[in-house]
Structure 1
Amino acid sequence: MSRILRPLLLAGAVLGGLSSLTAQADTLRIGFQKSSTLLTVAKQQGTLEKALAARGTKVSWHEFPSGLPLLESLNVGNVDISADVADTVPVFAQAAGAQLTYYALETPSPNAQAVLVAQDSPLKSLADLKGKRVAVTKAAGSHYLLIAALAKAGLSFKDIQPSYLTPADGRAAFENGNVDAWVTWEPFVSSAQLQQNARTLASGEGLASYQRYYLASTPYAEQHPEVLAVVFETLQQTGRWIKAHPEEAAQVLGPLWGGLDARTVQQANQRRSYQVQAVTREALAEQQAIADAFYQAGLIPRKVDATAAGIWQPDAAQVTAHSH
């Protein structure tokens, strides 16, 4: 069994029954990562707290190092909703038996991830990756991009030497020449391009849409749809604000992203859509493609029906009421 999935399964078995006991109607517990742009900005600006205060709902924030631990915590009822995670993460969570509900997505941002090589690298095409050492973060959106990129070149994982590294370790390995290529996402792509003169071998264009998904624990989604409506509207407004105020957004995010300079943050944000929409069952077609690809690669232990997850839909009248 995958080392990624075992903790998820164990935690689900031990704590799954506690979710209804730990949920608190008067406090919305949000799990997020440093890269959770929209909710990070909303947290800095206090917009969600203001929007929910009228309902008597408070907000508590809980930071996670990556998407998988975040969804594990969501599944066992330790947080109520998640900020955005890469499209691959819910697939791994579903494979571990998690009961989760989609409540929003960011429309595709294929250029927000890429296969990078050093400026003077002899690698000129995806086919040149054969036999090479490639850094990638396991279960991240970039993991699926690498699978898709190799398939386009007529290669598989057996044709490369994958190095499963966190973004920080991947950057160090790339910078020191310990790997031949690095597959990653924003803001790491822009940082590598602008600070290390990295060259893009391929972006996600035509290979992987890279949609970011927002999830809730299914019990919370069923019991508090009106709170999700407020969160959904806040996400939409924050996405519009970032696109309309790129300089201000960079000032907010730069320090939170490890002291990145404004130019890097702005370039990274230009490549993200930040356009928040409701999730439809039809829109999960690429999720199914990801699940199938990971199963075929032996990365998840069983087939996953991506459409079996819950889907929360905003009520038009409810959302309109909150937008005024």
Structure 2
Amino acid sequence: MIKRTLLALSLSVAAVAGSPSGVANETRPLRVGYVFAMANAPALIADKQGYYRDEGLVVDLKALGDGPVIQQALAAGELDMAYVGTPPVYQWFSRGLQSRILAKVNYGQAAVIVDSKSPSNSLADLKGKKLAGVKKGSGMDVLLRGYVLKEKAGLNPDADLNIIDMPPGNMNAALERGIVDAAFSWEPFVSQSLLRGSSRVLFDVNQALPQYPWYVVIALPKTLQERPDDVVKLLRAHRKAIAFLNEHPDESNRIIAEAFKLEAVQGPDGKTIAPQTIVAQARTRLGWSADLQAADIQFIQRLMNYSHDLGFVDAPLMTEQLVDTTYLERASR
């Protein structure tokens, strides 16, 4: 009798949880993952400033290591939405995980840096050199190989130089010790190195591609179908967070420095440079915006074309398959 009662209860709970209109589904926290990177500060700001709560949302915010880990969590049903780089989204889309890109998170962030005394003065000078990069086929690797090296430098990324895969947190030390000749890095690592006086920028991607989009807000089709109003609420909170970042730079710099546990660095004159100053320096190459403009969508198409040309995606993709701005439009009303 007890077993039958427990079975009936479990079936009842499962039915409620699986129903789009069930009480359990309505009260379940919106599970949101984000790549733990400074560029994804809007996710942290929305949480810390109570913008999710103000919209009536209960958000379970999870910091994860990189885009592929986020995609794996989405595929496993462990997340409903995410703040993630664009390339992992379309790469996994091509494999069947058909998330939709709903809004932009940031623009800028990446640069090629070299030792402050390096003889290299252009990207073409990297031929025959060692360059610190990230895992082949990853989002930043697509940007490095497809745009920076092939398009801007006219180099064959597989034949003309040696790209050494390493965590971005290790790149500055590798550059300072002469293990590599250059590094393709992003914020705050670029600013930390520059403020120490140990490096200089060889190529700033944001100068070459002003306000190019990188991180985006995405959702699973199931989330869009079952919780469309919650998606709009999250995007409203996202807009509020970006407004706070842009309207209160000093306060937001402090929050970012604390959230990402940035440590002070010592400048070339021996003076200590505060973490907030690192964030302020980073913001010369990095900014935030929610809107997906026509130029942003065109750049996403370029990234998808790079990935196809480099052999990371089997079939060509079009932005019309992935980008849906209707939810952001609703959040703007």
Q: TM-score normalised to the size of structure 1?
A: 0.81
> What secondary structure sits across from 1:190 in the alignment?
helix
> What secondary structure sits across from 1:30 in the alignment?
strand
Equivalent AA in structure 1 for residue 130 of structure 2: R
Note if 1:28 corresponds to 2:25.
no
1:144 Cα offset (Å): 0.7
Q: Distance in 2 between matches of 1:113 and 1:120?
A: 21
1:75–1:99 Cα contact (<8 Å) kept: no
**Equivalent residue number for residue 6 of structure 1:** none
Equivalent AA in structure 2 for residue 114 of structure 1: A
> What secondary structure sits across from 1:159 in the alignment?
coil
Gaps of 5+ in 2: 1-16, 264-274
2:235–2:328 Cα contact (<8 Å) kept: no
Alignment of 1:185-264 (within 5 A): 185-204=186-205, 205-207=207-209, 209-260=212-263, 261-264=275-278
Q: 1:319 to 1:251 in 2, by over 3 A?
A: same
**Aligned with 2:46 (options 34, 39, 42):** 42
Note if 1:128 corresponds to 2:125.
yes
Equivalent AA in structure 2 for residue 165 of structure 1: M
**Equivalent residue number for residue 10 of structure 1:** none
Alignment of 1:247-286 (within 5 A): 247-260=250-263, 261-278=275-292, 283-286=296-299
Q: TM-score normalised to the size of structure 2?
A: 0.79
Q: Distance in 2 between matches of 1:315 and 1:108?
A: 17
1:273 Cα offset (Å): 2.7
1:35-57 Cα distance to aligned partner (Å, 9 max, x none):
121011122222212322xxxx4
Q: Distance in 1 between matches of 2:301 and 2:120?
A: 31
Q: 1:311 to 1:210 in 2, by over 3 A?
A: closer
**Equivalent residue number for residue 86 of structure 1:** 85
Note if 1:160 corresponds to 2:161.
yes
2:73–2:79 Cα contact (<8 Å) kept: yes
Q: How many residue pairs get matched?
A: 294
**Aligned with 1:299 (options 301, 304, 312):** 312
**Aligned with 2:327 (options 305, 314, 317):** 314
> What secondary structure sits across from 2:288 in the alignment?
coil
Superposition misfits of 4+ residues, deviation over 6 angstroms: 19-23
Q: 1:164 to 1:72 in 2, by over 3 A?
A: same
Question: What is the Cα-based RMSD across aligned positions, in Å?
Answer: 2.6
1:229–1:319 Cα contact (<8 Å) kept: no
The answer to which of 283-292 and 139-148 deviates more is 139-148
Gaps of 5+ in 1: 1-18
Q: Distance in 2 between matches of 1:101 and 1:248?
A: 32
Equivalent AA in structure 2 for residue 299 of structure 1: F
1:316 Cα offset (Å): 5.1
Q: Distance in 2 between matches of 1:115 and 1:210?
A: 18
Q: 1:25 to 1:185 in 2, by over 3 A?
A: farther
1:271-300 Cα distance to aligned partner (Å, 9 max, x none):
3231211577x8532222212212222333
2:132–2:183 Cα contact (<8 Å) kept: yes
Q: Distance in 1 between matches of 2:26 and 2:304?
A: 33
Note if 1:114 corresponds to 2:111.
yes
2:102–2:328 Cα contact (<8 Å) kept: no
Q: 1:183 to 1:227 in 2, by over 3 A?
A: same
Q: 1:207 to 1:161 in 2, by over 3 A?
A: farther
Identity %: 23
2:106–2:216 Cα contact (<8 Å) kept: no
Equivalent AA in structure 2 for residue 59 of structure 1: V
> What secondary structure sits across from 2:132 in the alignment?
strand
Larger radius of gyration between Structure 1 and Structure 2: 2
Q: Distance in 2 between matches of 1:142 and 1:161?
A: 13
